[in-house]
């Protein structure tokens, strides 16, 4: 088996738990996920099956979430699963309004500096941060730059502990728990993440995701199909190889190809690396629309050549007939 699954992760399971359950359902050992979701979170969990696991680094990076932020509470995990460290009285929160919070959101968009939660999978001194935190050892996590494309208010609910529903479009490495924590800090009220649903990840959307129950039913009815690899790599430039070049591709050889044969490629996207121009990742297929893997473009050393060089990076086996 080779392909992808758009899994609708349920609440209460770790991403690793989800992979284990799929291994049992599909009777496949080689399965991996494309981006961890906390146990309390739900939504899109991209899953690769078989050799497609090697393509996880090449999937789309942007993600979208619907988050519920509760004000007046601070926890050690930056969500409701943790221990409450600080709890404001309802009187301290009476001044909060949707408008006051909305005014703060531009400070959390664009490229921002963010410190991941102490209870996270970040490596600190060779260990996971959450392992150190659970052992009550000091955890100093360096800040990192993340990109927030958009924050959009979906709903606002007054009460003793007001809640804000927020849509977040962000780049890789962003912690929504940290956004909740830092927004509460900026407002002087404290805040924590109350609920999280991922609505888009790696090119998959929530409306098309499958629950474990749906997958099991499709398997039982002999109707289950993996998402084709080439469909999931549609954001990359594409090239189809003639049969003779396909043979050389499987031998790991660098191939001279015409730039005119590469769809959606912008030559200006090439970057200098080790003194050589390196183009973006290219999705490679044969004339029968079988995905052969991913390659990188390199400039031809012959300045008079009309071709560029396609170097294999990930070579996939052909699907069985």
pLDDT at 166 over 90: yes
Please tell me the predicted confidence (pLDDT) of residue 137: 74
105-119, pLDDT tens digit by residue?
999 999 999 998 887
CB atoms within 10 A of CB 255: 19
> Which residues are designated catalytic?
38
The structural architecture, per CATH, of the domain 3-60+203-229 is 2-Layer Sandwich (3.30)
Spatial separation of the C-alpha atoms in residues 128 and 120, rounded to whole Å: 7
63-201, CATH topology level:
Pseudouridine synthase (3.30.2350)
- Please tell me the pTM assigned to this model: 0.90
Please tell me the predicted confidence (pLDDT) of residue 277: 54
Average predicted confidence (pLDDT) for the chain: 90
Please tell me the predicted confidence (pLDDT) of residue 202: 93
Q: Residue 21 belongs to what H/E stretch? A: helix 15-26
Please tell me the predicted confidence (pLDDT) of residue 272: 53
Please tell me the predicted confidence (pLDDT) of residue 109: 96
Closest CA to 176 of 66, 59, 100: 66
Q: Give the residue, 120 or 251, on which the prediction is more confident.
A: 251
Please tell me the predicted confidence (pLDDT) of residue 302: 67
Local structure of residue 206 (DSSP, 8 states): G
Cβ(109)–Cβ(151) below 8 Å: yes
Please tell me the predicted confidence (pLDDT) of residue 163: 97
Please tell me the predicted confidence (pLDDT) of residue 303: 64
Please tell me the predicted confidence (pLDDT) of residue 270: 61
pLDDT at 99 over 80: yes
CATH class of the region 236-315: mainly beta
SS3 call for 10? coil
Q: Are strands 3-9 and 42-49 parallel, antiparallel or unpaired?
A: antiparallel
Q: Where in the chain is the domain with CATH 2.30.130?
A: 236-315
Please tell me the predicted confidence (pLDDT) of residue 320: 64
Q: Where in the chain is the domain with CATH 3.30.2350.10?
A: 3-60+203-229, 63-201
Lowest mean pLDDT among 6-20, 45-59, 240-254, 269-283: 269-283
244-284, pLDDT tens digit by residue?
999 999 999 999 998 889 998 877 666 554 545 566 789 99
Lowest mean pLDDT among 130-144, 157-171, 206-220, 223-237: 130-144
Please tell me the predicted confidence (pLDDT) of residue 271: 57
């Amino acid at each position: 088996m080779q392909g992808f699954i758009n899994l609708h992760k349920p609440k209460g399971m770790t991403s690793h738990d989800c992979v284990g359950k799929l291994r049992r359902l599909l009777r496949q050992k080689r399965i991996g996920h494309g981006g961890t979701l906390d146990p309390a979170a739900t939504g899109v969990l991209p899953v690769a099956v078989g050799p497609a696991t090697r393509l996880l680094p090449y999937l789309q990076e942007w993600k979208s979430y619907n988050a519920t932020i509760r004000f007046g509470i601070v926890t050690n995990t930056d969500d409701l699963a943790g221990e409450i460290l600080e709890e404001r009285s309802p009187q301290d929160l009476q001044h909060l309004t949707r408008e006051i919070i909305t005014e703060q959101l531009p400070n959390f968009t664009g490229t921002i500096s963010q410190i991941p939660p102490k209870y996270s999978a970040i490596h600190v001194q060779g260990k996971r941060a959450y392992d150190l935190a659970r052992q009550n050892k000091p955890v100093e996590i360096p800040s990192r730059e993340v990109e927030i494309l958009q924050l959009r208010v979906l709903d606002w609910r007054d009460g003793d502990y007001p809640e804000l529903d927020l849509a977040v479009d962000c780049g890789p490495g962003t912690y929504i728990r940290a956004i909740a924590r830092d927004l509460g800090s900026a407002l002087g009220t404290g805040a924590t993440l109350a609920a999280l649903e991922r609505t888009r990840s790696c090119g998959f959307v929530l409306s098309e995701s499958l629950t474990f129950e749906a997958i099991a039913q499709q398997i039982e009815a002999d109707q289950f199909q993996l998402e084709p690899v080439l469909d999931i790599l549609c954001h990359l430039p594409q090239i189809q190889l003639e049969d003779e070049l396909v043979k050389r591709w499987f031998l790991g050889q660098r191939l001279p190809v015409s730039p005119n044969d590469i769809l959606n490629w912008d030559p200006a996207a090439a970057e200098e690396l080790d003194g050589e121009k390196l183009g973006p990742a290219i999705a490679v297929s044969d004339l029968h629309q079988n995905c052969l893997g991913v390659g990188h473009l390199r400039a031809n050393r012959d300045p008079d050549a009309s071709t560029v060089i396609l170097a294999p990076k990930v070579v996939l086996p052909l699907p069985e007939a």
